[in-house]
């Protein structure tokens, strides 16, 4: 399976961001991608939580999800819409939802981010995702062209039990769309992605935000695709871009046969 990760520098204008998404997905499709993964907050990284609440929508009927569905249909690709505000039963706290759209535009699956990023960083900044988002409760594993794909989002990558749940459900591929902070990303991003790939013997597809955003946020980038041995197959450089790789599932089978750690579990 040929897959692509899209690296973005999303800002506060939803229409501008979606225009960039369309251009980047088109380029990825031209490069042969069958599945294209977008980063967390691909449609909006704005100044206020109020603005994010205002664009929260019902899936698949909202303007953002309709745009992504049309794009998937037009380019004949699967699209992982990495993280977008989905209405919840609490108007003040929408879900942060990753949605998988099929080449016919249908919504195949959704995952609502379980682990929310509430931290006080050493640089003095404070982030409270739970003040503006409601956490999800259930993992998501669905089938894409005969292989199982699990969806996660950003901060989830620090919680290996979620990825082991995905492996137990038969996942071959896990997506990790992110808006990782520059401070934590430079030390932890690649180490965590490679660890999740190695310990669960899965392909990890990790599209990310990069650069400066409203509210003084700065994200790390380094969108990448990692194989089940922990090797980085493709990685974006600085700025907006695309990285493409082919997932070799026969190689994954060999890795799992050669090092059958998943069968050796005792706990």
pLDDT, tens digit, 9 for 90 and up, residues 123-173: 777 778 998 999 999 999 999 999 999 999 999 999 999 999 999 999 999
Rounded average pLDDT over 37-43: 98
**Phi and psi at residue 244, to the nearest 5°:** -130, 140
Burial class of 79 by CB neighbour count within 10 A (0 to 12, 13 to 18, 19+): buried
pLDDT band, very low/low/confident/very high, at 191 (cuts 50, 70, 90): very high
Sole residue written with tokens 């042969």: 32
Rounded average pLDDT over 102-109: 98
* Domains detected in the chain: 2-263 (3.60.110.10)
How much is the pLDDT for 23?
98
Instruction: Please state, for a pLDDT cut of 70, what percent of the chain lies above it.
Output: 100
How much is the pLDDT for 215?
87
Please tell me the pTM assigned to this model.
0.96
Cis peptide before 60 (omega within 30 of 0): yes
pLDDT one-digit tens code per residue, 68-89: 999 999 999 999 999 999 999 9
pLDDT band, very low/low/confident/very high, at 21 (cuts 50, 70, 90): very high
Output the CA–CA distances (angstroms, integers) from residue 176 to 46, 208, 257, in the order listed.
21, 8, 25
CA distance 67 to 17: 11
Q: Which of 48, 6, 8, 4 is nearest to 212 (CA)?
A: 8
Active site residue 40: yes
Output the CA–CA distances (angstroms, integers) from residue 234 to 58, 184, 196, 205, 265, in the order listed.
34, 21, 17, 10, 30
How much is the pLDDT for 55?
96
Instruction: Give me the catalytic one of 113, 133, 224, 240.
Output: 113
pLDDT one-digit tens code per residue, 125-135: 777 899 899 99
How much is the pLDDT for 47?
83
Burial class of 204 by CB neighbour count within 10 A (0 to 12, 13 to 18, 19+): buried
Instruction: Give me the catalytic one of 133, 154, 224, 236.
Output: 154
DSSP letter for each residue of 205-233: EE-BBEEE-GGG-EEE---EEE-TTS-EE
How much is the pLDDT for 3?
98
Contacts with 155 (C-beta within 8 Å, 6 or more apart), sequence order: 113, 115, 116, 117, 129
CA distance 39 to 153: 9
Identify the DSSP state of 38. P
How much is the pLDDT for 122?
73
Active site residue 113: yes
Active site residue 133: no
> Which pair of structure tokens corresponds to residue 77?
């690709």
Residue 48 above 90 pLDDT?
A: no
Q: What is the mean pLDDT of the chain?
A: 96
CA distance 101 to 42: 15
């Amino acid at each position: 399976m040929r897959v692509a990760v899209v690296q973005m520098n999303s800002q506060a204008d939803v229409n501008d961001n979606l225009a960039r998404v369309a251009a980047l997905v088109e380029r990825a499709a031209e490069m042969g991608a069958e599945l294209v993964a977008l980063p967390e907050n691909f449609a909006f990284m704005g100044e206020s939580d109020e603005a994010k609440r205002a664009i929260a929508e019902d899936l698949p009927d909202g303007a953002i999800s309709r745009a992504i569905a049309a794009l998937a249909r037009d380019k004949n690709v699967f699209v992982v819409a990495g993280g977008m505000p989905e209405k919840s039963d609490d108007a003040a706290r929408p879900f942060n939802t990753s949605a998988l759209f099929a080449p016919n535009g249908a919504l195949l699956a959704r995952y609502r981010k379980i682990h929310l990023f509430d931290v006080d960083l050493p640089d003095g900044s404070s982030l409270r995702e739970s003040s503006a988002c409601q956490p999800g409760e259930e993992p998501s594993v669905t089938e894409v062209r005969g292989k199982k794909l699990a969806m996660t989002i950003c901060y989830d990558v620090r919680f290996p039990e979620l990825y082991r749940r995905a492996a137990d459900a038969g996942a071959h591929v896990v997506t990790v769309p992110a808006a990782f902070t520059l401070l934590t990303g430079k030390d932890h991003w690649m180490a965590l992605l490679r660890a999740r790939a190695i310990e669960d013997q899965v392909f990890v597809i990790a599209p990310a935000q990069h650069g400066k955003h409203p509210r003084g946020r700065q994200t790390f980038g380094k969108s990448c695709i990692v194989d089940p041995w922990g090797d980085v197959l493709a990685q974006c450089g600085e700025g907006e871009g695309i990285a493409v790789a082919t997932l070799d599932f026969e190689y994954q089978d060999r890795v799992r046969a050669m090092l059958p750690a998943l069968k050796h579990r005792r706990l």
